[in-house]
Chain A
Amino acid sequence: MSASPNDAPSVVPVKADSDVVRVRQCVRDVAVAARLSLVDQTKLVTAASELARNTLLYGGGGEATIRVVERGAVTGVEVVFADDGPGIADVDRALTDGWTSGSGLGLGLSGAKRLVDEFDLKTSPGAGTTVTIVKWKR
């Protein structure tokens, strides 16, 4: 099985606990198809797990869109998490290790960012949050 950017993106709703597991499985499938190394697969799936949980807990649910991307000769896997929740008021603080607005460890956003090659966060209070991550094949 191989993967190309022409493949239709997979959209996984993130509405319940079990959806976090579905996001992990779907990201894993696409990462395997894109031939990421095992360590890179694991990093991407772990980052996706953190972000899917954030979408569920802080964003009030949303969806994850997973697809293969290409830049020049390099292939990667992109995952976009989008929610219509309250947004993040202080992005710098949310990206600080150990800071949490909930009951977590505060490693979700900052840890996920460390595990991927590209990390983009778009949010404003009341306007939801969109996080895009990419892991490139090395």
Chain B
Amino acid sequence: MDRIPILQIGDMLLVSIQVDLQDHTALALQDDLSNRIVETGAKGVLIDISALEIVDSFIGRMISTTAAVSRVLDAETVVVGMQPAVAITLVELGLTLTGVRTALDVDRGIRLLRRTLDEPIGRGDATFDERLTE
């Protein structure tokens, strides 16, 4: 069975989907990622979908579920590189990936994760003004 490789870089996991995803491959990736988060204690997950030519409701659900599961396992997920035509189609299909954080490319995704992970615990809800004065 095809499996998507998951690379560990420090406290992040990087997944780059480079094949046309079969449903069972997408489900296997969801399982593998959850297991790797627990094994490695990773705090961030970056999923690069720049090579995906479509995201249908099945793949969209896999992405949403992966983000939700990783949050429960104390890791943040950022999805990067969605092609514009894919984004337009996804929204028209009726999927908005609510709760999934996105960035335009891997570089921005890593910076977004870094900022999130470096934020001191418990200050996530602090207002902008409070952060400035601390």
> What secondary structure prevails in chain A residues at the interface with B?
helix
Q: Which residue of B lies closest to A50 (CB)?
A: B56
Name the segment of B29-37, B90-98, B102-110, B117-125 touching the other chain: B90-98
Say whether, besides A39-B88, A105-B61, A111-B57, A46 and B93 are in contact (CB < 8 Å): yes
Name the segment of B8-16, B17-25, B39-47, B66-74 touching the other chain: B17-25
Q: B residues bordering A, Cβ < 8 Å?
A: 20-24, 53-58, 60-61, 83-86, 88-90, 92-95
Say whether, besides A45-B53, A49-B54, A25 and B20 are in contact (CB < 8 Å): yes
Tell me the complex Cα distance, A111–B58, Å.
12
Q: A residues bordering B, Cβ < 8 Å?
A: 17-18, 20-21, 24-25, 28, 38-39, 41-43, 45-46, 49-50, 53, 97, 104-105, 107-108, 110-112, 114-115
Say whether, besides A110-B94, A115-B93, A46 and B54 are in contact (CB < 8 Å): yes
> What secondary structure prevails in chain B residues at the interface with A?
helix
Interchain CB contact under 8 A, B22 and A42 = no
Interchain CB contact under 8 A, B89 and A115 = yes
Q: Which residue of A lies closest to B61 (CB)?
A: A105
Tell me the complex Cα distance, A33–B20, Å.
20
Report the 4 A-B pairs with minimum CB-CB distance, sorted nearest first: A111-B93, A42-B85, A49-B56, A107-B57
B61, B86, B93, B94 — most chain A CB neighbours (10 Å): B93
8 pairs, A vs B, C-beta closer than 8 Å: A21-B22, A46-B55, A49-B56, A50-B57, A50-B93, A97-B94, A105-B57, A111-B95
A109 → chain B, closest Cβ, in Å? 10
A17 → chain B, closest Cβ, in Å? 5
What residues of chain A lie closer than 8 Å to B58, measured between beta carbons? Answer: 49, 53, 104
Q: Which residue of A lies closest to B93 (CB)?
A: A111
Tell me the complex Cα distance, A107–B56, Å.
9
Partner of B54, one of A18, A42, A114: A42
Interchain CB contact under 8 A, A24 and B20 = yes
What residues of chain A lie closer than 8 Å to B93, measured between beta carbons? Answer: 46, 50, 107, 111-112, 114-115
